[in-house]
Structure 1
């Protein structure tokens, strides 16, 4: 009986080692492909919020970090678009913390004069059929920020129509669009402060 148990134990150990080794091999073989696909998907998303013809650098590698900013708590990545080495706009990761069902993650592109170039929702938990109209697959609502300029923090047009602003709310759902409008506005205003500091911000992935 003891020999049988030992034999089974050795067999299980060998099987576990083989499975672990196989998993490691698969991960090694697919790692580069997965990373390439992630980069390609990010580029497609960037192209939706900022025209690739407007800058001439590799915006995906021109990444800096801000912490606990108007973009949200914790670390946020900012991608700097340059023309002839001159910063002309940014693509920012930002959060609307006050969505109906929790935080809404966004990508917002803006120049340094308060003009929003584009915005997209990247993650949310809003109610299907109501708040989820912030997704482009369901509605073009999120695209209406592009080309609009924020005159200042008290700009009354940067609100949903129910609050006297220019942006539609959704039938039966005002909290979600209100949260997104406010987040895009905060990001656009923050972009106006970046020219003086963008070249001094830490680079993404740099050790402190």
Structure 2
């Protein structure tokens, strides 16, 4: 009986060592591929909010951190800076809409330093399928309605959903979600306007965003 238990224990121990080693090998082999794929996905997202013909630098490597209440919370948000012939021309800035129907909505807003929105993408949300999820590009092209829009100051009434007197469509049966996205985009674009003179003082993201 004791011998059987001992054999089983040894077998289990050897199996644990084998599976742990195999997992470590697989992780070592696949990690570069995963990192590369994540970088490609990130670059693709950045290209959707800041057109590539506007800049000539490696935007992913120009990453800084911004903390401001206009971004929906007090957490640091990543800012990716686009240069053209050495001059900053636009940014892609992570932002948060804290007041979605089902919670926070994480976004990426591209804009220049004159209030012009170049593109918006929703990175993460928990909105209602069939209603609020129309903020996703794969569901609807509504998110592209921001392209080329200019925010004319904090009192710009046009930069709002139509139900609030603005020019952006709301969704049938769901106004809270698009309102949250529109307002977050407006706040973020207005903040970006103020950043051109502060870029040199922003902390770098570090290796996590390179």
Residues 44-193 of structure 1 correspond to what in structure 2 (within 5 A)? 44-73=44-73, 74-193=75-194
The two structures, once aligned, show a CA RMSD in angstroms of 1.3
The superposition leaves residues 147-200 of structure 1 with CA deviations (integer Å, 9 ceiling, x where unpaired) of: 011110111001100110010111111000000000000110010111111121
Alpha-carbon distance, 1:68 to partner:
4.3
Alpha-carbon distance, 1:123 to partner:
1.0
Q: Which moved more, 1:198-207 or 1:81-90?
A: 198-207
1:18 — aligned with what? 18
Alpha-carbon distance, 1:69 to partner:
3.7
Q: Which runs of 5+ in 1 are unaligned?
A: none
Task: Report runs of 4+ in structure 1 exceeding 6 Å deviation.
Answer: none
From the superposition, tell whether residues 151 and 31 of structure 1 become closer, same or farther in structure 2 (CA, over 3 Å). Answer: same
- Taking structure 1 as the reference length, the TM-score comes to 0.96
From the superposition, tell whether residues 206 and 128 of structure 1 become closer, same or farther in structure 2 (CA, over 3 Å). Answer: closer
The superposition leaves residues 11-31 of structure 1 with CA deviations (integer Å, 9 ceiling, x where unpaired) of: 111110110010000000000
From the superposition, tell whether residues 43 and 196 of structure 1 become closer, same or farther in structure 2 (CA, over 3 Å). Answer: same
CA distance in 2 between partners of 1:67 and 1:16 (Å): 45
Answer whether contact 2:151 2:189 (CA < 8 A) is retained. yes
What's the secondary structure of 1:82's corresponding residue?
Answer: strand
Alpha-carbon distance, 1:206 to partner:
6.7
Q: How many residues align?
A: 207
What's the secondary structure of 1:70's corresponding residue?
Answer: helix
Q: Which runs of 5+ in 2 are unaligned?
A: none
1:4 — aligned with what? 4
Answer whether contact 2:109 2:185 (CA < 8 A) is retained. yes
1:32 — aligned with what? 32
CA distance in 1 between partners of 2:138 and 2:54 (Å): 26
- Taking structure 2 as the reference length, the TM-score comes to 0.95
